[in-house]
Chains A and B, each alone.
Chain A
Amino acid sequence: MSVAIPNVPARTSRRRGILTSRKGRVGFAILLALIAIAAFAPLIAPHDPNAIDAARILAPPDLAHPFGSDALGRDVLSRVIYAYRVSLGVAVGSTLLAFLFGVPLGLYAGYHGGWVDTLIMRPIDMVLALPALLLAVALIAIIGPGSDVALLAIAVIYLPILARVVRSSTLVVASQTYVEAARARGTPSRRIITRHVLPNAIGPAIVQATILMGFALQIEAALSFLGLGAQPPTSSLGVMLADGRDFLTQAPWIEIFPGVAIAITVLAFNFFGDGLRTRLDPRGVAR
């Protein structure tokens, strides 16, 4: 409502950290824990994920095996921890790859404009005109299945999204007075881009990439579930979900826990991303 509220000083936060919101800090804390679990999987997993135990086939959860056992009697908790390692690796790797290529493309398109912009953004818009998962599936159809291919496919889906975000924030930054001043001083454009534009335009892309990283786990799981991602003997969360399907009613724990792991990760990345937004993408909040 457009009520003139008199003289309220601009909301200043008393907290100086990068994470101003509680949600963001919660997300960050969960993420740290998840990353630690993935990194120290061998130390954390209570059992050998591949140890077959004929006595424990489809055994329900108990104290020693909190997530139960699968069709070969393997410990589901340990398998989730190891599979999570693979899934998180694909999610982080794909997003970083997309970030690495998408950011410079968006930056150059946005800064130079004109034909450079057209040359870069037209193909990127074409990719965005296709359903993302279909594109990933089509790429895997060509190259063949595998977790590294899934990583690449997710990177291909993400690159245009990140390039677009960087391009639009670059457009705003490039029209700021300090950039024009640098240009007027005759600063070489490469230096302007790296010194002035990049640091000010990259915030929204970091926020976006953080959130995308979480969703990458969902995409990886979907691809692996279809048999298009990680291939046995490598196990990812999606592979686990595919393997456990036939025993769904007898041993639902095989299906429940990998999905919960995905959901928690997606949320943690989302909350963390939202927390970063206040600081890195104030425009997105303000307008």
Chain B
Amino acid sequence: MSDAILTLEHVDVGFDTDDGSVSAVSDVSLSVAAGEIFGLVGESGCGKTTLAMATMGLLPVSATVSGSVRFQGRELVGLPPEDLRRLRGDRISMVFQDPMTSLDPAFPIGEQIAETITAHRDVQRSHARDRALALLADVGIPEPERRYGDAPHRLSGGMRQRVVIATALANEPALMLADEPTTALDVTIQSQILDLLRDLRQRLRTTIVLITHDLGVIAQLCDRVGVMYAGQLVEIATVSEIFRAPRHPYTQALLAALPTQHQEPGSLRVIPGRVPNLIAPPPGCRFASRCPHVMDVCTIVPPLAHESADHLIACWLSEATREAGRPTGAATGGAA
């Protein structure tokens, strides 16, 4: 993909804890095309937020990141902190999960948007203020002039998330990472925020990486989707393809577990088994212990391979994976 804005190659993230090193993200490679909405889906704890934080350079010191994260052709891993800071909030921005805790409770919301502008642009404060007011109006805050000086607690959750989104858009970033932007909100507010994101994408052509555990959100908003399980990226495909023909057993199980309208009340289908411990994860595919099709070869990490032009899968069931795994696959469980 030549017009890729964000490219991740063999990204590993580990956390040092008292009980050992946690492998939170293992050998993830993907690329996001300019202008698309790319969904990243998986259960909580599968490493999708960690991946976003790694991209932003916001992981705590206990984390070690290896591999390559390229944004607009520029390598971000190992970039000096000050250079990363200049990118954050300017070229790449992020929306957090819980709008109730994303804003500084002691500062007026307008100023929190304006400071994002003055942090990156050498502009007059009045100019930043005007721009912040325009952004507030843009994300659908009524009476921005009156709201500008309000402390966050005077706004509802939905309104706060609009402010957070306005902040993320303040410097017209090329890429926005939205981490569960609707999870903490009521259902009706959720769809309003999703509408807002869709609308903003159309108007501003911002590339969005949307992180969620909610396949419904993916279906509503995204163009392509990557599925993560226990730190590994198992499948990438267009949204229609994922729902129509999921290939990875985990994706299949995930879709099968979706509640449907024809389902009997109270019966929820679940994936049997448990997510493996990531302190000493089993070698190979981390879904193997729950997979109905588990084979001997699954103790080797299956490489992500093109099944078709826009469908990638990392599973030994796939011909493409077997093809990609043949020359080097048996060597180690590490980077393929």
B128 at the interface (CB under 8 A from A): no
Looking at the assembled complex, report how far the CB atom of A14 sits from the nearest CB atom of chain B, in whole angstroms. 10
Q: How far is the CA of A258 from the CA of B18 in the complex (A)?
A: 41
- In the complex, chain B residues 275-292 whose Cβ is within 8 Å of any chain A Cβ: 275-279
Q: B45, A6: Cβ atoms under 8 Å?
A: yes
Q: How far is the CA of A208 from the CA of B189 in the complex (A)?
A: 46
A5 at the interface (CB under 8 A from B): yes
> B50 contacts which of A3, A8, A11 (Cβ < 8 Å)?
A3
Which of the candidate stretches B57-65, B140-148, B200-208 sits at the interface with the other chain?
Answer: B57-65
Q: B17, A3: Cβ atoms under 8 Å?
A: no
> A9 contacts which of B24, B49, B277 (Cβ < 8 Å)?
B277
A184 at the interface (CB under 8 A from B): no
With A1-B60, A3-B59, A3-B63 as contacts: A8 and B49 at CB distance below 8 Å:
no
Q: How far is the CA of A4 from the CA of B22 in the complex (A)?
A: 12
Could you mark each residue 200-243 of chain B with 1 if its beta carbon is under 8 Å from any beta carbon of chain A, else 0? Answer: 00000000000000000000000000000011000000000000
Bin chain B's interface residue count: 20 to 34
**Using Cβ atoms and an 8 Å threshold, which residues of chain B touch A1?**
58-60
B296 at the interface (CB under 8 A from A): no
Could you mark each residue 39-55 of chain A with 1 if its beta carbon is under 8 Å from any beta carbon of chain B, else 0? Answer: 00000000000000000
B151 at the interface (CB under 8 A from A): no
- In the complex, chain A residues 6-32 whose Cβ is within 8 Å of any chain B Cβ: 6-9, 11
> A8 contacts which of B19, B47, B60, B63 (Cβ < 8 Å)?
B19
**Using Cβ atoms and an 8 Å threshold, which residues of chain A touch B63?**
3
**Using Cβ atoms and an 8 Å threshold, which residues of chain A touch B24?**
5-6
**Using Cβ atoms and an 8 Å threshold, which residues of chain B touch A4?**
44-45, 49-50
With A8-B17, A9-B19 as contacts: A3 and B60 at CB distance below 8 Å:
yes
Looking at the assembled complex, report how far the CB atom of B204 sits from the nearest CB atom of chain A, in whole angstroms. 27
**Using Cβ atoms and an 8 Å threshold, which residues of chain B touch A8?**
15, 17, 19, 22, 278-279
Which residue on chain A has the smallest CB distance to residue B20? Answer: A8
Q: A5, B44: Cβ atoms under 8 Å?
A: no
Q: How far is the CA of A73 from the CA of B167 in the complex (A)?
A: 76
Q: How far is the CA of A9 from the CA of B45 in the complex (A)?
A: 12
**Using Cβ atoms and an 8 Å threshold, which residues of chain B touch A9?**
19, 277, 279
Q: How far is the CA of A16 from the CA of B164 in the complex (A)?
A: 46
> A6 contacts which of B18, B19, B50, B96 (Cβ < 8 Å)?
B50
Q: Which of B59, B230, B278 has the most CB of A within 10 A?
A: B278
Looking at the assembled complex, report how far the CB atom of B259 sits from the nearest CB atom of chain A, in whole angstroms. 24
**Using Cβ atoms and an 8 Å threshold, which residues of chain A touch B46?**
6
Q: B59, A6: Cβ atoms under 8 Å?
A: no
> A5 contacts which of B22, B58, B276, B277 (Cβ < 8 Å)?
B22
With A11-B18, A11-B19 as contacts: A6 and B60 at CB distance below 8 Å:
no
B53 at the interface (CB under 8 A from A): yes
Q: A6, B53: Cβ atoms under 8 Å?
A: no
Which residue on chain A has the smallest CB distance to residue B24? Answer: A6
Q: B58, A6: Cβ atoms under 8 Å?
A: no
Q: How far is the CA of A6 from the CA of B58 in the complex (A)?
A: 17
**Using Cβ atoms and an 8 Å threshold, which residues of chain A touch B231?**
6
Q: B275, A7: Cβ atoms under 8 Å?
A: yes
Q: How far is the CA of A1 from the CA of B58 in the complex (A)?
A: 9
Q: How far is the CA of A8 from the CA of B18 in the complex (A)?
A: 10
Q: How far is the CA of A149 from the CA of B326 in the complex (A)?
A: 86
Q: How far is the CA of A84 from the CA of B254 in the complex (A)?
A: 69
- In the complex, chain B residues 3-30 whose Cβ is within 8 Å of any chain A Cβ: 15, 17-19, 22, 24
Q: How far is the CA of A4 from the CA of B19 in the complex (A)?
A: 16
**Using Cβ atoms and an 8 Å threshold, which residues of chain B touch A11?**
18-19
**Using Cβ atoms and an 8 Å threshold, which residues of chain B touch A2?**
96
Which residue on chain A has the smallest CB distance to residue B61? Answer: A1
Q: B50, A7: Cβ atoms under 8 Å?
A: no
Looking at the assembled complex, report how far the CB atom of A1 sits from the nearest CB atom of chain B, in whole angstroms. 5
Looking at the assembled complex, report how far the CB atom of B104 sits from the nearest CB atom of chain A, in whole angstroms. 15
**Using Cβ atoms and an 8 Å threshold, which residues of chain A touch B18?**
11
**Using Cβ atoms and an 8 Å threshold, which residues of chain A touch B47?**
6
Which residue on chain B has the smallest CB distance to residue A13? Answer: B18
Q: A5, B19: Cβ atoms under 8 Å?
A: no
Looking at the assembled complex, report how far the CB atom of B103 sits from the nearest CB atom of chain A, in whole angstroms. 14
Which residue on chain B has the smallest CB distance to residue A4? Answer: B49
**Using Cβ atoms and an 8 Å threshold, which residues of chain A touch B22?**
5-8
Q: How far is the CA of A5 from the CA of B276 in the complex (A)?
A: 14
Q: How far is the CA of A11 from the CA of B18 in the complex (A)?
A: 8
Q: How far is the CA of A4 from the CA of B230 in the complex (A)?
A: 12
Q: How far is the CA of A260 from the CA of B53 in the complex (A)?
A: 50
Q: How far is the CA of A9 from the CA of B22 in the complex (A)?
A: 11
Q: How far is the CA of A168 from the CA of B136 in the complex (A)?
A: 43
**Using Cβ atoms and an 8 Å threshold, which residues of chain B touch A6?**
22, 24, 45-47, 50, 230-231, 275, 278
Q: How far is the CA of A110 from the CA of B59 in the complex (A)?
A: 42
Q: How far is the CA of A5 from the CA of B279 in the complex (A)?
A: 11
Q: How far is the CA of A3 from the CA of B24 in the complex (A)?
A: 11
Other A-B pairs, 8, CB within 8 Å; known A5-B22, A7-B22: A3-B59, A3-B60, A3-B63, A4-B50, A6-B230, A7-B45, A8-B279, A9-B19
Q: Nearest 6 CB-CB pairs, A to B?
A: A6-B45, A4-B49, A1-B60, A7-B278, A6-B278, A7-B45
Q: Can you list 25 A-B contacts with CB-CB less than 8 angstroms, sorted by A residue number? A: A1-B59, A1-B60, A2-B96, A3-B49, A3-B50, A3-B53, A3-B58, A3-B63, A4-B45, A4-B49, A4-B50, A5-B15, A5-B22, A5-B24, A6-B230, A6-B231, A6-B275, A7-B22, A7-B230, A7-B275, A7-B276, A8-B15, A8-B19, A8-B22, A11-B18
| Residues of A that sit less than 8 Å from B by CB | 1-9, 11
